[in-house]
Each structure stands twice: as structure tokens, then as C-alpha cells.
Chain A
Amino acid sequence: MIYSSWKEVDNWVDKMPDEYKSSYNRLKRFSEVLTTEPEPLVGQTPKEVIWTKNKSKLYRYQPAIKKTNKVPILMVYALINKPYILDLSPGNSLIEHLTNQGHDVYLLDWGTAGYEDRHMKLEDYIMDYIPRATKKVLQTSNAKELSVLGYCMGGTMTSIFAALHPELPIRNLIFMTSPFDFSDAGHYTNWLDKRYFNLDKLVDTMGNISPEFIDFGNKLLNPIQNFYGPYVSLAERADNENFVEGWKLMQKWLKDGIPFPGESYRQWIGEFYQENKLINDELYVRGRQVKLSEIKANVLNIAASRDNIALPHQVEALNDKISSKNKTFHLLETGHVSVTVGRTAINETYPLIDEWLVEHSK
């Protein structure tokens, strides 16, 4: 019935002038994308699981492809995302790009934390998961050294891991939009003020923090643009299939978060946002002081100028603290998510990382 009505409308529109047809088709496509279209396929680069722990998995990408770069790379992303953010879709994937360039790429998938994981602390992930994954990468690739890439909060965790494990052969570190200095975190600094934000009550009541809660906070940083902007853009360019594909991928990423384990959230907000312990050498992990100055590996630190989640000055602060002789800070003219997805990512981020890795793996 509905189908036949639409068919009639279509026939009627067909008789109208071209410019009317174009507007109608955009409206139709817009409603299709929002209501009936399936979600895009993501994480399609072939991979194998080489290690598991609790919900975590360690992947090796395209093991059959010849690895010409002798230093393998381990990727660590934020606890609140899904692993496919670094392997979105063919042609739009950092992992696929690096694998195709002959890099031996590994990714530590955190899995989805259940209610039973609410007591997991950041240090559990930093001390029990990342070092073990590192050893597995070295064993599997039969390499003497490795590179580690940390994305967003995953980069902050990676910096702590690298500072506490000088015995591990980490040759290169890449940080992508990872905050290190929390003294001025934009609106978050006010919103998470201890006087108003009841962190303990939140964690004790909720157990794990829902992805919707985190997403709402991120969107509130720029409400009109984040809540309505995407739909206005889609309405404007719904007749451009490339744009629609990119739009769907971006929306899937943004809406597809996972719960933040409660104790990790308590630490992340309390010790990082509220007390800014990391950059001031005041952070203790299992009784050990974290000094970023212990980092001696080659460092590529990437920030995005329009990022309002990890502000560029929060990211850049790392370079003044580390002891690495070879350290680069690179600012891209884009936003937090667009560092890894979309045109800027394909044209700038992927080649930048590839070339830097090749140069520092000889």
C-alpha cells in the first residue's frame, strides 16, 4: 500500500521540472538514510586473533601479506570506543592503509566491558593488558623492537605504559589526539569541577558509565553543531553518495560507544581532569610514580586544530616533558574524529604516519 503510494508520487514527480525532481530526490534519500538503510559495514581488513584476555583480543592484520617493515606496530585506542574506529571501511581505514604499505599491524581490542568489569582500573589495563600484548606482538612478529600507536585516551594510557616500562623495546610512539595536560580542558574543566560534579556518587550508582552519557557530554561542547549540524549537512548533500557513505560511517562511530568501566572512569575524571596528576608527575600506578620524562622512544605527537575533546595545547604539552631526542608535534587542520576518518585522514594522516614509521624503523 505504502509502496504503491510512493510509486505514484514518484511517477508524479517524474513529470515535474528537473530542479523540482532534484529537491524531491534529496528529501527521499534523506529519509531513506535515516529510517530504512542498514548500518555500514566496518572493520573489514582481514585479521586473526593471536591472544585473548577477559573481553580483550589482540588482532594481527592480514597476516598473509608480506611485511616489509621490520618494526611491528601495536595500536591502542580509547576504552570508550569500538576497535573498528581505526579500520572503518575499505579505503577509509588507517589499519588497511598501513598494512598495504607493508607494516605488521596489531590492534588491542578492549572488548565491551560488562557490569562485572566495573572494578577494572586504568592501571589494570595499563599494567596487565598492554605489556602482555606487547610481548605477544614481539613473539609473533619475531621482532626485536616495536612501535605503539595510541589514539585519544588510548594514547594517554600508552604514555603511562611507556613511562613505566623502560625495559620494553619500544622504538617509536605515535600519539593521535591524546590529552596529557588537563589544566585547561575547555568546558570540561568547569563541568567536571569537584564542587558540582559528584563523581563518586555517579560511579557508585551507575557501576559502568553508559556510552550515551559520554556522548551527551561530548556533544554538549558545541550543541547546535553537534546535535543538529549533521542532519542539516545530510539534508543539504543527500544526493551525493560519497558524502552519504562518509556521513553514515561517522554517525555509526559517534553513536556506537561502549560502557566506560566505573573505576577507570573514576580515575580518568578524578586524577586526570580534576587533579591533572599526569603532567605534574603526581600520578602513581600500583605504587609507582609515573614520570613522562622516562619516555625516550621516538615520538610523533598529532593534534587537530578543531578538536574540542583533546585541545591542541593539551596534546602538545607532552613534548616538553619527555626525554626523547627525536620528537615531533604535528597539527592537522581538522577535528577529533576526522583525524582518522574522511578526506583529511586519507590525504594527510595516513601518509604522515606511514612515512614517519618507515623513516624511524630503519
Chain B
Amino acid sequence: MSHTLPIDPFKIWQDIYNKTENAWSDAIQDTLGKESFSEGLGQTLNSYLQYQEFVTKTAEAYLTQFNMPSRDEVANVASLVINTENKIDHLEDQLEQLAEENTKEINSLKRTISNLDKKLDRVLAEIEKNEKAGATAKKK
């Protein structure tokens, strides 16, 4: 017993697709790879761009006439905001770098002071030792 409708539109569609795909795939790939296809594609693109350019210029002229900002002008304002943000980024970078350098400098100072502290301790210990030696000599 069949598991599909006697006339199943899905099945018909699928069969058409499979047959078309198998039969035409190589031919289509050959066509897509031809230089003439690239040339045609390029010509189509050029015509579209020509149309697009016309539409853009017409829209701009219309907006200027009605004293309204064009897409370029709105984008320019956005660019100004982005530039300001970039400057803040740059400042943030510099602050981070400064903070890093400061930390390094402070750590280096800490090490120097610690070394000095140790040297001072040794000097004090020597003085104390000398004083004790002096006192012992006096007693004798």
C-alpha cells in the first residue's frame, strides 16, 4: 500500500527538482563558468548602477529643494560623533598606558626604598656593633 497521496504535489515537485538538478547541473555550471556569462553579469550590474545613480541624484535634488538633509549629511553628523568617540578611546588608551607606567614606576620606587631600608638596617647594625665594641674597650 502506498504511503503517499495518489497525486502528491510534494512528490511531483521533488521529482521535477531532482530531475532538473541532475540534468541541468553540469550545463548550468558550464554556463556560469563561461566568459560570456561574466561579461553579461558585468553589463547587468552596470545598467543597475546607472539606474541607482539616477535614483540617488534625483532623491538628493529633491531633498535639497525641500531644505531637508540628505543621507550624506546625516552620515556626516554620525561621522563627527564617531570621531569624538575615537578621540575618547585614544585618551582612554593614553590613561591606561600612563596608569601602567605609573604602576611600574611605583613598584620600582618600592624596590629601591626596600633596598635602601635593608642597607640602612645593615649600617645601623654595624654602628651598634662598633658602639658595643667601643664600650667594651673602654671598660677594659
Contact = CB atoms under 8 A, between A and B. Distances in A.
Interface in A172-198: 187, 190-191, 193, 195-198
B56 A116 contact: no
Interface string B32-54: 11110111011101100100110
Contact of B10 (A23, A114, A191, A195): A23
Interface stretch (B76-84, B103-111, B123-131): B76-84
A202 B14 contact: no
B37 to A, nearest CB: 7
B85 A53 contact: yes
Contacts, number: 99
Interface string B1-31: 1111100111001100100110011001100
A139 to B, nearest CB: 9
Contact of A235 (B10, B25, B29, B39): B10
A132 B89 CA distance: 10
Contacts of B74: 115
Given A19-B3, A115-B71, A198-B49, A224 B14 contact: no
A198 B28 CA distance: 24
B14 A205 contact: no
A362 interface: no
Contacts of B8: 23
A236 B4 CA distance: 12
Contacts of B3: 19, 22
A57 to B, nearest CB: 13
A50 to B, nearest CB: 13
A195 B40 CA distance: 12
B75 interface: yes
Given A115-B71, A224-B28, A19 B1 contact: yes
B49 A201 contact: yes
A196 B78 contact: no
Query: Which size bracket describes the interface of B in this complex?
Result: 35 or more
B49 A53 contact: no
Contacts of B1: 19
A205 B53 CA distance: 6
Contacts of B10: 23, 26-27, 30, 235-236
A196 B39 contact: yes
Given A23-B5, A205-B56, A232-B14, A116 B46 contact: no
Most buried by B among A116, A190, A229: A116
Contacts of B82: 54, 116-117
B42 A197 contact: yes
Contact of B75 (A26, A115, A228): A115
Contact of A54 (B20, B21, B56, B85): B85
Nearest to B18: A232
Ranked 9 nearest A-B pairs via Cβ: A196-B42, A116-B78, A116-B75, A115-B75, A190-B38, A232-B17, A23-B5, A19-B3, A205-B49
Interface of B: 1-5, 8-10, 13-14, 17, 20-21, 24-25, 28-29, 32-35, 37-39, 41-43, 45-46, 49, 52-53, 56, 71-72, 74-76, 78-79, 82, 85-86, 89, 93
Given A115-B74, A190-B35, A232-B17, 17 more contacts: A114-B75, A116-B75, A116-B76, A116-B82, A191-B38, A195-B39, A196-B43, A198-B42, A201-B49, A206-B49, A222-B29, A223-B28, A224-B17, A224-B20, A225-B21, A228-B17, A236-B14
25 contacts: A19-B4, A19-B5, A23-B5, A23-B8, A23-B10, A27-B10, A30-B10, A53-B85, A114-B75, A115-B74, A195-B39, A196-B38, A198-B49, A202-B49, A205-B52, A220-B32, A222-B29, A223-B28, A224-B20, A224-B25, A228-B17, A232-B14, A235-B14, A236-B10, A236-B14
